[in-house]
Chain A
């Protein structure tokens, strides 16, 4: 009986010891090295980490990311840490602030300008068409023309 009690006590103690680790794991952001490999560059190789398998810098970056993943850092925190150590060229996508933001802003501005240009052209065509319609009014046929048309239609019938 006492052996059973001590076994249960031991099991309880083990569960309690494991609880903080389980809680930590549950709150830890689920990021992996593979998740970041397409978004991080090896600046010396000029490719993403996913493509630079053997380059020494790529290996170091991968190890650096691994260490931060183990330290429970989120994807954004890891990117910031990479930026702090290796500078802006380490990110495959430019940042969304400062001059780099133009990469995201310019396509929107370009799209708006293109849409405006198309609208402007369409309006121009429409206006020109309307003007053409008023400038040359459709002429009514004369009596002789009507008779000619009738005769031609009779011939065909």
Chain B
């Protein structure tokens, strides 16, 4: 009787340990599977985005931009490469807007007032959300800043840029998506 009880407790402890290990492995693999899918030419659904606006408390989700090409740009005002990338974003936003697309900034791990000043100073007029603790960034596998995820008109991840955007990437990976039907 006692042996059966000890075995049951032992098995429960082992099962909990394995479940915890599995959760950790799956969590770390989610972002790499996103990159792998894009690399193999597949378009997959992005992780969920439900964040407040940078300048107000209402929340927005990616579904709010369904039918548009979205360049989801993870950035922070303290990040030097983000400062270098800003002029390119300011230059591309009008082109994207006129073709049914947009840049959607996600300010991550940042002082909100710094971020708003950054947007104003760099004349960035695209929408920007606030990922205070970086949970959404982590779900997208963002490890350094800036990084961008390109979402097609059907709401699927079509391209990933792990680093600052450049004109070549915008021409080769974003512009063709603008010609696709919704």
Contact = CB atoms under 8 A, between A and B. Distances in A.
Interface of A: 43-44, 56-57, 59-60, 64, 84-90
B132 A85 contact: yes
Nearest to B77: A60
Interface of B: 76-80, 109-112, 114, 132-135, 144-145
A56 B81 CA distance: 11
Contact of B78 (A59, A84, A87): A59
Given A86-B110, A88-B133, 4 more contacts: A43-B133, A56-B80, A60-B114, A89-B134
A57 B107 CA distance: 13
Contact of B111 (A44, A59, A64): A64
A90 B109 CA distance: 9
B175 to A, nearest CB: 31
Nearest to B112: A85
Contacts of A57: 76, 78-79, 109
Contacts of A60: 77-78, 111, 114
A56 B133 contact: no
Contacts of A43: 109, 133-134
30 contacts: A43-B133, A43-B134, A44-B109, A44-B134, A44-B144, A44-B145, A56-B78, A56-B79, A56-B80, A57-B78, A57-B79, A57-B109, A59-B78, A60-B77, A60-B111, A60-B114, A64-B111, A85-B110, A85-B111, A85-B112, A85-B132, A86-B110, A86-B133, A87-B109, A87-B132, A87-B134, A89-B133, A89-B134, A90-B109, A90-B133
